[in-house]
């Protein structure tokens, strides 16, 4: 039985974020499923464009992102350790 791979799996494979055994299984699927192979080629092309881009964010944009990040607090609740609360300061 074949594993059903998702778009998220295509991205994980493209960025080498899959464990080796899953990556091997995905690579085999690329050879058998044209739909997955086409999506992989598309994601890989987009990654290559991003990797070769010379665009950079402005200093102000970076500072805005950092300020936003500092304004968020994450914590787990005692009653539900898997639940995360987000507080905007």
**Contact between residue 58 and residue 44 where contact means Cβ atoms under 8 Å apart:** no
pLDDT confidence of 1, banded at 50, 70, 90?
A: low
pLDDT band at 74 (very low <50, low <70, confident <90, very high): low
- Identify the pLDDT of residue 72: 73
The residue that leads in pLDDT, 72 or 42, is: 42
Helices marked H in the chain: 7-14, 20-32, 34-51, 59-70
Please name the residues in contact with 10: beta carbons below 8 A apart, sequence gap of 6 or more: 36, 39, 40, 43
Q: What is the pLDDT of residues 20-71, one digit of tens each?
A: 999 999 999 999 999 999 999 999 999 999 999 888 889 999 999 998 888 7
Q: What are phi and psi of 19, to 5 degrees?
A: -60, 150
Judge whether 77 and 83 are in contact, CB under 8 Å: yes
Q: What pLDDT does residue 81 have?
A: 60
């Amino acid at each position: 039985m074949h594993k059903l791979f998702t778009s998220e799996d295509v991205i994980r494979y493209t960025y080498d974020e899959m464990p080796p055994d899953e990556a091997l299984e995905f690579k085999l699927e690329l050879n058998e499923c044209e739909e997955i192979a086409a999506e992989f080629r598309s994601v890989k092309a987009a990654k290559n464009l991003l990797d070769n881009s010379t665009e950079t964010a402005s200093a102000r944009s970076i500072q805005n992102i950092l300020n936003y990040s500092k304004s968020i607090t994450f914590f787990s609740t005692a009653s539900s350790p898997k639940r995360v609360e987000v507080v905007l300061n």
